[in-house]
Amino acid sequence: MQQLFPGEVFANTADFDTGIRQLLPRYDEMLEIIARCLPSTSQRILELGCGTGELSLKILNRYADAQIIALDYSPRMLQFAQDKITAVGYQQRWTGIKADFGDWANNPENLDIGNEFDACVSSLAIHHLQDEMKLKLFERIAASLTQDGCFWNADPTLPESPALAEVYKAAREEWAVEQGINLTDIRAKRATSTIQGYSSQGQLASLETHLQMLSKAGFKTVAVPWKYYGLAVFGGCL
């Protein structure tokens, strides 16, 4: 079985965009919420764990002046995203960098991307960090934003109780049935991920824990603009 970095999910990169939409309810809606939450004046945007570039595309489509610096530790994901961005003519507004954002949190001097970002975004990536590193990352993000900067993240969260964990699981499976999706077939396309840098298999934290971390990191406003059972878009502004 092919070994993958955390976040790559599928053995074949080309399966990701279709597969993730079959595994996660309302995937596009979730990413659209992040894009909508960015200030309309956002120009310099940092994306952590860009994957195949789907969130980047939604932001570039919505904000004509946006310039994105996108980090990902997967060469194949970065190439896939680069090809997709280039195909729609946005290559001058998007820069992909092979880097581990966990390492950036711990050793920012090793990555020359500067500060003064208007916004930072991430989707389905930060949950691969241990909680101690999540907090360090939130602090690094806060230190890298402009005075009125904001950060928005989409991730699965730890269910608030075992009973709710069952509710969330059932809702996801019912959604798949309604969509005519065979989860067994989709899951068969997945591959086992290995530890990469600071990331490993999903290390979920509760939504409340995330919000506490954001406040501790210096975000004056913290919010949850979207939640669907165990998936959430959350973040804050300085």
* pLDDT tens string 143-200: 999 999 999 999 999 999 999 999 999 999 999 899 888 877 777 766 565 555 555 5
Helix, strand or coil, per DSSP, at residue 150: strand
Residue 50: per-residue pLDDT:
96
Compute the average pLDDT of residues 101-106: 93
| 184 Cβ contact list (under 8 Å, min separation 6) | none
pLDDT at 100: 93
Mean per-residue pLDDT for 133-149? 96
**61 or 115, higher pLDDT:** 61
What pLDDT, on a 0 to 100 scale, did the predictor assign at position 3?
59
Most confident of 65-69, 73-77, 195-199: 65-69
Q: Taking 60 as the threshold, does the pLDDT of residue 6 lie above it? A: no
Distance CA 199, CA 178 (A): 33
As given in the structure block, the two tokens for residue 58 are 């939604």
Helices 16-23, 27-37: inter-axial angle, 10-degree rounding: 100
What pLDDT, on the 0 to 100 scale, is given for residue 198? 56
Calculate the average pLDDT of the chain.
Answer: 90
Helix axes 207-217, 131-144, angle to 10 degrees: 40
Q: Measure CA 218 to chain center.
A: 20
What are the angstrom distances between the C-alpha of 110 and each of 100, 102, 121, 128, 206? 11, 12, 21, 21, 31
Closest CA to 82 of 73, 92, 27, 28: 92
The whole-number pLDDT of residue 199 equals: 57
Domains in the chain with CATH codes: 13-237 (3.40.50.150)
pLDDT at 84: 95
- Residue 1 reports pLDDT greater than 50: no
pLDDT, greater one: 218 or 192: 218
Measured CA to CA, the distance from residue 112 to residue 99 in angstroms comes to 11
Query: How confident is residue 115, by pLDDT bands cut at 50, 70 and 90?
Result: confident
Q: What phi-psi label fits residue 116: left (phi over 0), alpha (psi between -120 and 50 degrees) or beta? A: left
